[in-house]
Structure 1
């Protein structure tokens, strides 16, 4: 889309202008005015059209890239993400809340986005060029497999076996444009319209949106220091026979970051098998474990015959702008997912998939993961130390063994009031209400720190301390 984009900015929203622009764009996406794949104008052109500073538009675009509404393609521009299912767009009563960006400092704790500056861009560019020039790509005159490029599925199968202990037949893997598409397809495969999926609460709103788009009801279940409460799940399954699937994030529960222990994982598998319900395991951030023994996914020990769909993402390992997710599922479910995918998106990005397969085979992805772990662990430790030094008595947290975020619990104050004060001082926060489905909002923040360097982390904690509403 090269022409200027007319946006209706709601003056009644208040808060940063960044947020108002981002909300206007998401509103136009959800109501169908901006279609998946539509090109947005450059930041300079849109800033001129709206009469605002170019940096303001750039910040709004960066927010929507982080949230997955947009995707950036080098040397081409910024586009509406391709992996937003049409059902989600049509049924959304309102856009998923967009995290605010602070107007003055431009600092934001995200929901856990990686640092795009760490992307191995030279290795990726070489691999992408090789893919474009390969005889196989140039000779391909027909559409590819709806499951994705075979070379990437084969490389992922080896990667999952080595890194996560998951035995994966490439024929049972599906490549999607991000984990969001994979979650939507998973729900379509295991649920009929009117059936219900149980989810963690607090939890992941974008997953709930994908499940609703697939026609499912969503029921929240409580979590504690060990993740999803199995007693609550079993009680819900007895009470409501419409529950036919369970969505979990056992490795790093979203948003609280807690890990589900081995005993509870086995309980979850046993309950699911006994009640005949499917499991959708979202293993985001698995690569980012900084200490302790590796925790294998549920998919690595699921009993034979249990309908379990394992979802992961390469976007969190590289950059939100690189939209590649995947799902591993039993053959009947995988076939349904592929059929649904072909109906909304005939195939994926074959050159990009081939390039990522090359990065895995050549070891570039593994080297990048090791480098990123060192950087992110140092940033986690710096943030934890500063929080302890400056917020003692005002907020508490448990240091997670991995992941790209901390869950900061407020001590006796409203997270909403604190977030508003911090926003006025130049720092955007994600308060607990964003992650609440039906129950009361947790008085806490999810502090995604990975995209901030050391100086930005120190500045963000200083603003947190100064803006405490007490």
Structure 2
């Protein structure tokens, strides 16, 4: 196919406008001028990237803007073309055109430092699709089309339990687990079935705010516990426990604390278990990214200690398979609690996705998950090391951070106090998005930032970290 359009895009790398927006606006200008006519084919993203000497992801973001705003249309197996019916435009975007629309503008960022998402591009999608097809080709497949247990497919529960007992030193059975649609559903069910109005729950500060929201929705009040280099501070917990308040639980992320990534020390783990048994509060352990570990064998969960009496353990398979597939689970030796969880689950969601559970079970049984984890761990270790090299390059002697031995994020603390809201606004104008510290702080925001690397390319990481460093340390 002939592609007669010749590139005439001039980029200003010193402009506050993100590069992908400059590209989008340049193409819009040429469409508006009549130089690019309806039906004209555009070069492919790889060709554009090569000619402009840019990362292909930047070109893809620019094309996505134009597709979303309907300046372009994509035709399967043919390419991208100027739309036949063009949108109405006005001169409101700086140095270019934008749509006149009553809808809120869509947020599109060249770099998005999320809270630690995996890279969906390496997910075993082909294998999962094959597993689905094989399930529907089985004899007796009609049996899977009816209702199953509200706690999840029994064979899938057994497989998860076997994995946890074998790999994480736990001693649980299939009657002590409920499969959920992601870990947040597990958090909600736990909060509703464990907590009552007027109960108190201790939380890590900084910590995971979506979990706090679930606890408060159940009527509980939050008691913050500070975090240092060894994890949550036991003295803060002891002070709360001696206050006379009706403390029902502690929510903790001991393996890699969210957001700081620190691991709870063994001494504090033992003291935490002792306090839980002494005061009778339940430890809600959120083991949100246990799978990706780059060093020696990771520390075992708190619930692997047989002396721990009261616990709920929450985990997820979504990061292992794909974020879009919501697979979480909660475990407790309190069978009465599991029964309450099952009853509530049945009210809001009669059962889980039995077909998906069967498909993932097949990937577990045929070794796909094990192979994928090995590949993904190597992939993320290389990304971590690359991110570390960027931090050394742009943040040297101006911020404090430790190299995490697993997970998908760094915790970075600048050497000076930072107005993170101001920095966030300036970053967004440059096409970079961060999660501001107020999103994981109870009370006064901490002066640190969680920089994720799992879902970003190397080019995006360098762009984002460089722009962030320029804003943080320009004085």
Same fold by TM-score greater than 0.5: yes
- Matching residue of 1:159: 163
CA deviations on 1:411-439 (whole Å, 9 max, x unpaired) are: 2141333322222222111221111122x
CA distance in 2, matches of 1:136, 1:364: 24
**Aligned to 1:279, what secondary structure does the other structure show?**
strand
1:88-107 matches, within 5 Å, as 103=108, 106-107=110-111
**Aligned to 2:133, what secondary structure does the other structure show?**
helix
- Matching residue of 1:384: 388
- Matching residue of 2:313: 310
CA distance in 2, matches of 1:116, 1:289: 18
Under a length normalisation based on structure 2, what TM-score does the superposition of the two structures give? Answer: 0.75
Partner residue of 2:410 out of 396, 406, 409? 406
RMSD: 2.1
- Answer yes or no: is 1:119 the counterpart of 2:120: no
- Matching residue of 2:3: none
* Distance change in 2, residues 1:148/1:318 (3 Å): same
* Distance change in 2, residues 1:169/1:56 (3 Å): farther
1:46-445 matches, within 5 Å, as 53-55=66-68, 103=108, 106-135=110-139, 137-140=141-144, 142-303=146-307, 306-330=309-333, 331-414=335-418, 415-438=420-443, 440-445=444-449
Unaligned runs of 5+ in 2: 1-16, 19-64, 71-104
Larger CA deviation: 289-298 vs 123-132: 123-132
- The 8 Å contact of residues 223 and 240 in structure 2, kept in 1 or not, is answered as no
- The 8 Å contact of residues 197 and 218 in structure 2, kept in 1 or not, is answered as yes
- The 8 Å contact of residues 313 and 326 in structure 1, kept in 2 or not, is answered as yes
Larger CA deviation: 323-332 vs 388-397: 388-397
- Matching residue of 1:79: none
**Aligned to 1:316, what secondary structure does the other structure show?**
helix
CA deviations on 1:320-350 (whole Å, 9 max, x unpaired) are: 2110000111212111111111111110001
Cα offset, 1:55, TM superposition: 4.4
Q: Which has the larger radius of gyration?
A: 2
Cα offset, 1:405, TM superposition: 0.5
**Aligned to 1:183, what secondary structure does the other structure show?**
helix
Larger CA deviation: 456-465 vs 400-409: 456-465
1:451-462 matches, within 5 Å, as 451-462=455-466
How many residue pairs align between the two structures? 376
Cα offset, 1:356, TM superposition: 1.0
Under a length normalisation based on structure 1, what TM-score does the superposition of the two structures give? Answer: 0.76
CA distance in 1, matches of 2:191, 2:306: 19
Cα offset, 1:256, TM superposition: 0.3
- The 8 Å contact of residues 205 and 440 in structure 2, kept in 1 or not, is answered as yes
- The 8 Å contact of residues 110 and 460 in structure 2, kept in 1 or not, is answered as no
* Distance change in 2, residues 1:435/1:136 (3 Å): farther
CA distance in 2, matches of 1:286, 1:101: 34
